[in-house]
């Protein structure tokens, strides 16, 4: 699967005020899903940084990585997208836009809120995905999302945006990707900051104390 690449403009994501804990190039070379947003505060996001308010660009990046990984598994007739190995990484590097390109694309369509200080407009996610040739269906209520997730096939991807705390909106919003696995459990990418995907059994567990804003079912 080859994604449409947004034209790359000169853009330096490194945040000099934070230092450079990990070179930006390493993030692009690895081409693996990001599961610990907190490690990337050294990357600028407008007037803020990726560690604080970059969950939607990270979620877009993870969608492209995971969708591409699934495509490689299907092409190899392995059928097991959960076990695509390191040998596939060179192809993924060629086919998936860099994180830098994703941030440039998000900024180009004016999706950041208040220059990035308030994150990214979640209702622009479908437009960002379209920019990379990915179609999605927007879901705005929990009941419909539960039905879609229950009937989804193995490997299905959803990009979920929620209020962190349904009773305390000042705690802000968060976006992340979930992927359905063989045991009907869900792998959660960047739902909480860990160095690995976390897991959950159902949407209630995934949302926790939060409330759904919008979800995008990736096609």
CA angle 45, 192, 101 (to 5 degrees): 30
For CA atoms 127, 106, 143, 206, the dihedral sign is positive
Which of the residue ranges 130-134, 158-162, 179-183 has the most confident prediction, judged by mean pLDDT? 158-162
User: Confidence class of residue 21 from pLDDT cuts 50, 70 and 90?
Assistant: very low
What confidence tens digit (pLDDT) does each residue in 52-76 have? 889 999 999 999 999 988 776 665 5
pLDDT of residue 10: 38
Looking at the domain 24-218, which fold is it? Cathepsin B; Chain A (3.90.70)
Task: Give me the chain's average pLDDT, please.
Answer: 80
100: three-class secondary structure by DSSP: helix
Greater model confidence, 186 or 95: 186
Give the span between the Cα atoms of 183 and 208, in whole angstroms: 21
pLDDT of residue 4: 41
Give the span between the Cα atoms of 33 and 86, in whole angstroms: 13
**Token duo for residue 176:** 């992340």
User: Confidence class of residue 94 from pLDDT cuts 50, 70 and 90?
Assistant: low
Domain boundaries, the chain: 24-218
pTM over 0.85: no
User: Confidence class of residue 135 from pLDDT cuts 50, 70 and 90?
Assistant: very high
Look at residue 125 and tell me whether its pLDDT is greater than 80.
yes
User: Confidence class of residue 81 from pLDDT cuts 50, 70 and 90?
Assistant: low
148: three-class secondary structure by DSSP: helix
CB 145 within 8 A of CB 212: yes
Give the span between the Cα atoms of 24 and 38, in whole angstroms: 15
């Amino acid at each position: 699967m080859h994604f449409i690449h947004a034209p790359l403009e000169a853009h330096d994501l490194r945040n000099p005020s934070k230092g450079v804990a990990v070179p930006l190039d390493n993030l692009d070379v690895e081409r693996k899903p990001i599961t610990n947003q907190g490690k990337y505060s050294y990357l600028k996001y407008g007037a803020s940084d990726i560690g604080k308010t970059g969950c939607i660009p990270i979620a877009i990046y993870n969608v492209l990585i995971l969708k591409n990984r699934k495509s490689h598994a299907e092409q190899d007739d392995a059928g097991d997208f959960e076990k695509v190995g390191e040998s596939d990484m060179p192809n993924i590097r060629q086919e998936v836009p860099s994180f830098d390109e994703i941030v440039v694309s998000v900024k180009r369509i004016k999706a950041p809120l208040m220059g990035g200080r308030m994150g990214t407009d979640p209702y622009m996610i479908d437009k960002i995905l379209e920019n990379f040739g990915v179609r999605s269906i927007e879901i705005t209520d929990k009941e419909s999302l539960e039905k879609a997730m229950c009937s989804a096939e193995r490997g299905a991807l959803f990009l979920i945006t929620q209020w962190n705390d349904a009773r305390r909106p000042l705690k802000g919003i968060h976006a992340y990707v979930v992927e359905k696995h063989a045991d009907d459990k869900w792998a959660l990418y960047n739902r909480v900051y860990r160095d690995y995907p976390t897991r959950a059994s159902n949407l209630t567990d995934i949302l926790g104390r939060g409330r759904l804003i919008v979800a995008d079912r990736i096609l």
